[in-house]
Amino acid sequence: MRGLPELMWAGSAIWKNVEDFTGPRERSDLGLITFDLSADLKPIFDWNVKQLFLYLSAEYKTKNNALNQVVLWDKIVLRGDKTKLDLKDVKSKYFFFDDGNGLKGNENITLTLSWNVVPNAGILPLVTGSGHSSAAFPDSYEMTKNY
């Protein structure tokens, strides 16, 4: 089995309470995060790895749902690309949108780096990194900053 890179995460988050135009006229939480991510992907690449599809996801519980999962960022790394990631102050690529008010003050949001191996031949395995990061997030809404 290939060695798994460790996830090193540090970052900041702000929450806004915005109107959700996709359903009833209710307000929902919108999380905007920035993060630092370090990972050495070299141990994953072998003769049968054509590319990796990396993604950073958040998992958390709310009073409405026992499990919420949101993809915040993704990246494709091709064979021959730089395998050491050292990303600083990266904004999430996708909105961290909750269908209620479950983000503000949530004390256990876990960020996980996962990837799909795209092989030259064979099955497409899904692998989750060995590093996870859990954090408590702000318990007040940001009103002045733009993202």
pLDDT tops 80 at residue 87: yes
Say which residue, 73 or 89, is predicted with more confidence. 73
Predicted local confidence at residue 82, as pLDDT:
93
Alpha carbon separation from 91 to 2, 51, 123, 128 (Å, rounded): 30, 23, 32, 21
pLDDT digits (tens, 9 = 90+) for 45-71: 889 999 999 998 888 888 878 888 889
Q: Which of 25-39, 55-69, 119-133 has the highest mean pLDDT?
A: 55-69
pLDDT tops 50 at residue 101: yes
Q: Which of 32-36, 95-99, 121-125, 129-133 has the highest mean pLDDT?
A: 121-125
Predicted local confidence at residue 50, as pLDDT:
93
Predicted local confidence at residue 138, as pLDDT:
61
Q: Burial-class residue 90 by CB neighbours within 10 Å (0-12, 13-18, 19+).
A: middle
Q: What is the separation of C-alpha 74 from the centre of its chain, rounded to a whole number of angstroms?
A: 8
CATH for 8-135, options being 2.40.128, 2.60.40, 2.40.160, 2.30.30: 2.60.40
Say which residue, 111 or 103, is predicted with more confidence. 111
